Every structure is written in structure tokens, then in C-alpha cells.
Structure 1
Amino acid sequence: MPRAARAYVRYVEAVNRAVGRVVMLLIFVMIGILLYASISRTVFDVPISWVMEMGQFLLAAYYLLGGGYSMQINSHVRMDLLYGRLSPRKMAFTDTITSFCLIFYLVVLLMGGISSTRYAITYNQVNYTAWAPLLWPIKTIMTVGIALMLLQAVAFFFKDLARARGEEIE
């Protein structure tokens, strides 16, 4: 594989690894917010209107920003009916073919995310709830997460292509 492809894979995987490990900590923020809401509602009888939406926003950030990292550590679900019986080189060849579908899907998703984020910024879009938070921050985070997963999918394509040719990119 060309040196540029190897450098691309190393850089993208380093970025996704760093982002993924930081984003893992969001689970504790979500737990804290939901615990605070439960205590305030049951002990002090004071319901909080922003908790459910903030939990949803954090969950979206958690799984979208962590998508590239979970892909990198191979923790995505894979249909293994015939795939598990293949040799490592045939698996890599199969993955290069399916990578095109994933990359196409992520490009379309990214285009939609950019369009939606641009709309939210231009029109100061808010969610139609009692809290009415601005939507551009979460839409920006979601678009960044989709972009990171797209970059990781391209890195996987390079790694699988090298593996199908009998090489390895570490």
C-alpha cells in the first residue's frame, strides 16, 4: 500500500481512538443528569423539563461520536452466516466490496447532516418543547460523528484492500 494510505489509516485511527475514549465518559454524565432528575422529582417533588432531551442529546453524541471507535475495535454487529467460514484474505476481499455500500450510505448521511446543520444555524432552529433548546449544537456533533465514521470506513477499506493483497497496515 502507498505510504499516504498507511499514514491516513494511522491518523484516522488515532483521532477516532482519542475521540472514542473521551466520549466513553459521556455515559457518566448521562447517569449523573438522570440521577439528578430522579432525585429532584422523587425527593423534592420538582420535575425538571430539560432532562429527557439532554439525555437524548447526550446519547446521540455518545453513539455517533463513538461510532468510528467502535468500528475500529470491531464491536459492530456483523451477519456471520457465511462470512465466518471464509479465510482472512477472503474476508478482507468481501469487506472491500461491502465497504462501498457503507461509504455510500455514510456520504449520503453526511450530506443530509450538513444540510440539516446549516438549516439549524441559519434559522436558529429550536426543538418544539417546553425547554426549546437550540438544535445546531447537537446537529453539529452528529455531523462530526458521521464524518469520523466515514473517515474510519475509508481507513477500513484501505486496511482490507491491503489484507486482500496479502499485506497488513497496522
Structure 2
Amino acid sequence: MMGRIRSFVRSGNLCLGYLSGLGILAMSLMLFYEVIARYCFGSPTIWVQEVSIYLFMWSMLAGASYTLMLGKHVRIDLIFDRLSPRVQNLLDIVTSLVGMLFCAIVTHQAYLMIAGSIRFNKLSATILRVPMWLVQLPLFLGFLLLTLQFLLIALDRVEALNGASAEAEGGAA
């Protein structure tokens, strides 16, 4: 069962991670186009800013779990690296459980927000009239994967603690 969850989370992280990278590329190209259209041809667009904001949201929120999976989120290593491996694992477990709880709450709230947007057929108040659930979806997906990734990190650290305890007991015998 855990193998399936790990595989699902890893696949989701990789998929959204690559999509985030493509989103940043697309956003960069659109903004470059906007600068050229505005300053070289005096003909700005009416859609680039809105679409760029949506792509930015998708890229940042959907790519967060991929970043966590790679261990690239910010951590204060100056202190952390001076701790023993056991204390590091314990600290990772505690922070992962707190992170998981926070992300689960945000995931639930995002789900409720999306359900309301679908139920009331909410659209953006702009000329593009984008369905709001599309704009809100990266919040749900990103935080759902973050919740699961924090769970996996906590489980890995518990396993590391148990392995270290077993080795210590085996060495003492």
C-alpha cells in the first residue's frame, strides 16, 4: 500500500514539477511578447497579464511538492547540521507532521473553494471570463501533494530512527 502511495506521489510530483517548468517558460515567452508588442509596436495585449498571473500561480503552487521531494525548500542548516542524526530525524518528523497538518487544512479549504466555484459557476471578472475553479485548482493539487510528501518524509524519518535503533541494539549485543 505504501509503495503505491509513494509511486503516486512521486509521479504526481514529477508531472507537476515538469508542468511548472513549462509554465515558467510559457510565462517568460508571453511576457517577452508583451514587452515587444507594447514598446516596439505600441500595441499592448489585453490577455498576457492575466494569463501570466494564472501560470505563475500554477507554476509556484503545483511545483512546491516537487521542490520538497528534492529537499530544496529553505531550512536553517546552520543549526540543523550541528545536531546529531537522531535529533535531526526527530526534528524532521515534527516539522513534517506540522507541515502535513497545515497543508491538509489548506487542501480541505481549497476543495471547498473549488466546489463553491463550480456550484455557482464563478468566472473571473476580466475579459477572458476564466472559470475560477481552473485558477483555484493548483492550490488544491499543490497542497494535496505537499500533504502526502510531508507524510512520506515523516515515515522515512521514523524508519531511519527505527533502523538506527535496531543497529544500536544489534551492536550492543
Query: TM class by shorter-chain length?
Result: 0.7 to 0.9
Deviation of 1:76 after TM superposition, in Å, equals 0.4
CA distance in 2: counterparts of 1:164 and 1:147, whole angstroms: 26
TM-score (norm 1): 0.86
2:34 is matched with which residue: 33, 37, 61? 37
Residue 120 of structure 1 pairs with residue 117 of structure 2: yes
Tell which structure's C-alpha radius of gyration is larger. 2
% identical aligned pairs: 25
Q: Check the 8 A contact 2:100/2:146 in 1, yes or no.
A: no
* Structure 1 gaps, min length 5: none
Amino acid at match of 2:69: Q
Question: Against the structure 1 CA distance between its residues 6 and 89, is the aligned structure 2 distance closer, same or farther, given a 3 Å change threshold?
Answer: farther
Alignment of 1:2-151 (within 5 A): 4-151=1-148
Give RMSD over aligned pairs: 1.9
Length, aligned pairs only: 164
TM-score (norm 2): 0.85
* Structure 2 gaps, min length 5: 165-173
CA distance in 2: counterparts of 1:129 and 1:121, whole angstroms: 18
CA distance in 2: counterparts of 1:92 and 1:5, whole angstroms: 20
Which structure is richer in relative contact order (CA contacts within 8 A, separation 6 or more)? 1
CA distance in 1: counterparts of 2:75 and 2:47, whole angstroms: 36
Comparing both structures, which one devotes a greater share of its residues to helix?
Answer: 2
Q: Check the 8 A contact 1:120/1:136 in 2, yes or no.
A: yes
Amino acid at match of 1:101: V
Question: Against the structure 1 CA distance between its residues 7 and 90, is the aligned structure 2 distance closer, same or farther, given a 3 Å change threshold?
Answer: farther
Amino acid at match of 1:112: Q
Residue range with higher mean Cα deviation, 67-76 or 20-29:
20-29
